Amino acid sequence: MKKFLISALCAVSLGHASTVMAQTTWKLATGYRAESFHTQNIMQFSRDVEQATRGQLVVEVHPNNAIAKLNDISQAVQQGKAQAGETIMTSMVKDIPIAGADSIPFVVGSYSDAQRMWKLQRPGIEKHFAQRGLKLLYAVPWPPQGLHSGKPIRGLGDFKGTQMRTYNSTTQRIAEMLGAKPVDVAMVDVGKALAEGRMDNMITSALTGVENKVWGPIKYYYEINAWFPKNVVFVSSKAFDALTPQARSQVLAAAASAETRGWAASQALAVSATEELRTNGVKIERIPADLEQEIKRMGERFSREWVRSVGNEANDIFVPYYIQ
């Protein structure tokens, strides 16, 4: 009898140990470099998850388009090529139109405005993600988008015939409205495209300029604060639901911390990146007032077009945004 009890206790003990030691691994795909502040934030999120779950959940971060290209990452997660991913939200506009609210020019002009917008945008994004088998974890904005140019910009005519870098349908439309030729260039290829003369200007953050060391071909940076695009991090609903309730709570807590940390990092980098451009010889200027008014009018036109194309879901975001 004593031998039986000892054997039973050992079996229970071993079974408990195997449960504790059982490990789940998520592959998280991102299109950005390991050095990007977004990727660094994801890596901290990964460490937080592993620590909180005591190693039961490991999030392997695969940067630099290693698993799928940036614009294909949400599809890759839906297809099971990775359990989690990060992409820029505006890359999803063809499938989820309200994701395009991020890049409507001159609607959002500050980080506090961007946070208000995200609170209104998030429920719709969560609904669309759920319909596609995805679970939203968090979102972090890039620093505000400025204008990088190899030549001084004094009027709309200075854009005509130039090659403008685009990375989604919104930036392509803006290039067309400015009279520039759209050139699709991934962020990781910006430096190469400039060196090869395939692009003359771009609307993107000062940070993107610093990460790609654009000084040399780029002579001017204009702080137009056009919009605050966000990167979104998500996981397969199937992978998330397979976790224990405790682990799910721990993942969401780590995600909330990552969102708070990421927004603070973005704001700090907006300042430091602009100064680094200046240090490396890029002239930091404001566009002339009359040109600024022209661009704002174009932004209003773009907003009206976008709201008409999206419909009620756009009103669910913009009506309360303007009322508050």
- Per residue in 141-174, pLDDT (tens digit) is 999 999 999 999 999 899 999 999 998 777 888 8
Q: Does residue 29 sit in the same domain as residue 178?
A: no
Please tell me the distance from the alpha carbon of residue 166 to that of residue 203, in angstroms, as a whole number.
8
64 and 51 inside one domain: yes
Task: Give residue 105's pLDDT.
Answer: 83
Residues 163 and 126 reside in one and the same domain: no
What is the distance between the alpha carbons of residues 31 and 11, in angstroms, rounded to a whole number?
Answer: 46
Looking at residue 1, its pLDDT comes to 46
What value does the mean pLDDT take over residues 279-299?
89
| Strand order, beta sheet including 57-62 | 57-62, 24-29, 84-88, 230-236, 134-141
**One domain for residues 98 and 123:** yes
The mean-pLDDT minimum among 145-154, 227-236, 272-281, 302-311 falls in 302-311
Which CATH number does the domain housing residue 170 bear? 3.40.190.170
One domain, residues 233 and 223? no
Contacts of residue 155, defined as CB under 8 A and 6 or more positions apart, other chains included, come to 288, 290, 291
pLDDT higher than threshold 90 for residue 49: yes
What percent of the chain is predicted at pLDDT more than 90?
68
Q: What's the mean pLDDT in 281-310?
A: 86
Mark whether 178 and 315 lie in a shared domain. Answer: yes
**For residues 163 and 87, is the Cβ–Cβ distance under 8 A?**
no
Position 289 confidence tier, pLDDT thresholds 50, 70, 90: confident
161 and 194 in a single domain? The answer is: yes
> Does 7 fall in a domain?
no
For residue 215, name the pLDDT band (cuts at 50, 70, 90): very high
Q: What is the pLDDT of residues 4-21, one digit of tens each?
A: 444 443 444 444 433 444
Are 92 and 125 spatial neighbours (Cβ–Cβ below 8 Å)?
Answer: no
Question: Are 175 and 317 within one domain?
Answer: yes
Strands (E), the chain: 24-29, 57-62, 84-88, 134-141, 145-149, 163-166, 181-184, 201-205, 220-222, 230-236, 283-285
Beta strands in 142-241 (DSSP E): 145-149, 163-166, 181-184, 201-205, 220-222, 230-236
- Mark whether 90 and 131 lie in a shared domain: yes
pTM (predicted TM-score): 0.80
SS3 string of 3-42? HHHHHHHHHHHHHHHHHHHCCEEEEEECCCCCCCHHHHHH
Q: Tell me which residue of 209, 199, 187, 223 sits closest to 277, measured CA to CA.
A: 209
Q: Which domain holds residue 132?
A: 24-142+229-274
Among 256, 274, 292, give the residue marking a domain's end.
Answer: 274
User: Which pLDDT band, with edges at 50, 70 and 90, does 59 fall under?
Assistant: very high
Asked if residue 146 lies in contact with residue 273, where contact means CB atoms within 8 angstroms, the answer is: no
Torsion of Cα atoms, 193 then 88 then 38 then 178, to 10°: 50
What are the distances in angstroms from CA 63 to CA 7, 29, 37, 250? Answer: 48, 6, 12, 23
Q: Tokens 């691994």 sit at which residue?
A: 25
* 35 & 135 share domain: yes
Residue 14 in domain: no
Residues 37 and 161 in one domain: no
In a domain, 1, yes or no: no
Determine the pLDDT at residue 296.
80
pLDDT in tens, 182-214: 999 988 899 899 999 999 999 998 988 998 999
* Contact yes or no for 221/283 (Cβ under 8 A): yes
177 falls in which pLDDT band (50, 70, 90)? confident
69-85 pLDDT per residue, tens:
999 999 999 999 999 99
96-145 pLDDT tens trace: 999 989 878 878 888 998 999 999 999 999 999 999 999 999 999 999 99
